[in-house]
């Protein structure tokens, strides 16, 4: 793989999030990193590269420009295979992944490249496990979905919390999320399409993966509850994040022989809880019917996103309450804009870790969670890039 012309190829580079990934790599990739932009429109790719070279010229020797352009289309399997065969890591931001993801994964496996994405779609990840886990393990490849806000802060945050607790005993961790920010057109599209497939996604979220017969990992009962230490309500979040955390817990000894995890939105006031549940319920109901679903999909189109000013005001915080062996800890993971800036940072650092940290990564292959694939190595990268993992208290 080291003889390939590229270390990382960013597929979907001309999209909104893909463009932010390219900005991040141009500013922060280590010197000597060979990375390329990829997409279906050659003219837009050349314009992007010209803009990135202008950015690099302003930053001088600190920046790393792209070294190539790859024209590839999800409707052209040969172009995807050529893209994958040219690189060590395929980084894709092209969603919704249930519609556009599988051809890229198939090309990565056939072309012998590692793979990262920013999906938050449980049924897509379930499909990866069913169809591509065994082939990836046979070929010594790492396929790591969910490398954005879904689900790195939660997965690595739960791992960080578990590391602060006694080992070898039953353990319980709950994560409470609060944030301020907006979402991209791609995220909106994925969410509405996901709501239209709630039955399939529910089945996917209940299937155990990465299991160890000697270890139990299960979710907490799904109910709204008052959380006294946080002086807030905890509202269960039906996202992929708890699924990912439990997959990691089934695979890693640090989570103990009997592990429970709960995943919640942290809300201060009960009326906000009621309004939020009502709004999500209404969207889910409208997403079940073709005509209303099509109207919802027009609200925000793929490629649309927040302005730099809006992103600068956005933030997220995940607070974890952990308990094991009579010890209690409170930890937090904090960062900036979750849907754009931090997501582009997280997937970029995951891809760079697959390139530059291979000697330090666990010898695990197949479809992996971020905690299993990267562990503390990626956390260290993200901390150096500005995200904060903090132990708030221990008693």
**Could you give the CA distance from residue 148 to residue 224 in angstroms, rounded to a whole number?**
26
CB 38 within 8 A of CB 83: yes
Sequence ranges of the domains in the chain: 6-149+342-377, 152-337+384-394
Exposed, middle or buried, 267 (CB in 10 Å: 0-12/13-18/19+)?
A: buried
pTM over the 0.85 mark? yes
pLDDT the model gives residue 205: 45
pLDDT the model gives residue 199: 57
Token digits for 77?
A: 């399997």
Which residues make Cβ contacts (< 8 Å) with residue 148, sequence separation at least 6?
118, 120, 342, 343, 346, 347
Which residues make Cβ contacts (< 8 Å) with residue 178, sequence separation at least 6?
265, 266, 267, 316, 317
CB 28 within 8 A of CB 55: no
Is 6-149+342-377 a domain of CATH 3.40.50.720? yes
CB 245 within 8 A of CB 158: yes
| Sites in the chain below the pLDDT cut of 70 | 1, 59-62, 182-214, 269-287, 296-305
pLDDT the model gives residue 204: 45
| Backbone φ and ψ of 268, nearest 5° | -75, -40
Nearest to 242 by CA among 329, 154, 373: 154
H/E stretch holding 215 reads none
pLDDT the model gives residue 312: 86
The conformation of residue 319, written as its DSSP 8-state character, comes to: E
**Percent of the chain's residues with pLDDT above 70:** 82
**Could you give the CA distance from residue 277 to residue 294 in angstroms, rounded to a whole number?**
22
pLDDT the model gives residue 286: 65
């Amino acid at each position: 793989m080291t003889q390939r012309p590229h270390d990382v190829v960013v597929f979907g580079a001309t999209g909104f999030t893909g463009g932010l990934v390219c900005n991040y790599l141009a500013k922060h990739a280590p010197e000597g990193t060979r990375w390329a932009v990829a997409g279906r429109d050659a003219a837009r790719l050349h314009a992007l590269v010209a803009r990135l070279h202008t950015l690099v010229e302003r930053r001088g020797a600190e920046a790393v420009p792209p070294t190539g352009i790859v024209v590839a289309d999800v409707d052209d399997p040969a172009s995807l295979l050529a893209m994958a065969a040219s690189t060590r890591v395929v980084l894709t931001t092209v969603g919704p992944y249930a519609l556009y993801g599988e051809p890229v994964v198939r090309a990565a496996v056939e072309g012998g490249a590692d793979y990262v994405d920013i999906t938050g779609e449980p049924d897509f990840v379930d499909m990866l496990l069913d169809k591509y886990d065994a082939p990836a393990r046979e070929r010594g490849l790492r396929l790591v979905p969910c490398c954005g806000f879904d689900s790195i802060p939660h997965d690595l945050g739960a791992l960080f919390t578990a590391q602060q607790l006694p080992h070898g005993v039953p353990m319980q961790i709950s994560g409470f999320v609060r944030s301020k920010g907006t979402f991209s057109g791609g995220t909106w599209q994925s969410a509405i399409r996901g709501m239209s497939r709630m039955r399939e996604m529910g089945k996917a979220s209940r299937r155990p993966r990465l299991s160890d017969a000697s270890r139990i990992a299960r979710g907490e009962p799904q109910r709204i509850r008052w959380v006294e230490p946080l002086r807030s309500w905890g509202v269960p979040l039906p996202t992929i994040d708890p699924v990912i955390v439990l997959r990691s817990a089934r695979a890693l000894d640090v989570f103990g022989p009997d592990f429970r995890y709960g995943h919640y939105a942290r809300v201060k006031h009960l009326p906000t809880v009621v309004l939020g549940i009502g709004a999500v319920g209404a969207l889910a109901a409208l997403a079940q019917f073709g005509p209303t679903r099509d109207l919802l999909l027009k609200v925000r189109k793929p490629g649309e996103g927040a302005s730099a000013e809006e992103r600068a005001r956005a933030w997220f915080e995940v607070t974890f309450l952990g308990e094991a062996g009579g010890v209690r800890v409170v930890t937090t993971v904090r960062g900036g804009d979750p849907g754009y800036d931090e997501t582009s940072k997280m997937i970029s650092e995951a891809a760079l870790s697959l390139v530059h940290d291979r000697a330090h990564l666990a010898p695990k292959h197949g479809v992996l969670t971020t905690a299993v694939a990267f562990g503390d190595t990626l956390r260290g990268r993200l901390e150096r890039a500005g995200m904060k993992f903090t132990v708030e208290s221990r008693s």
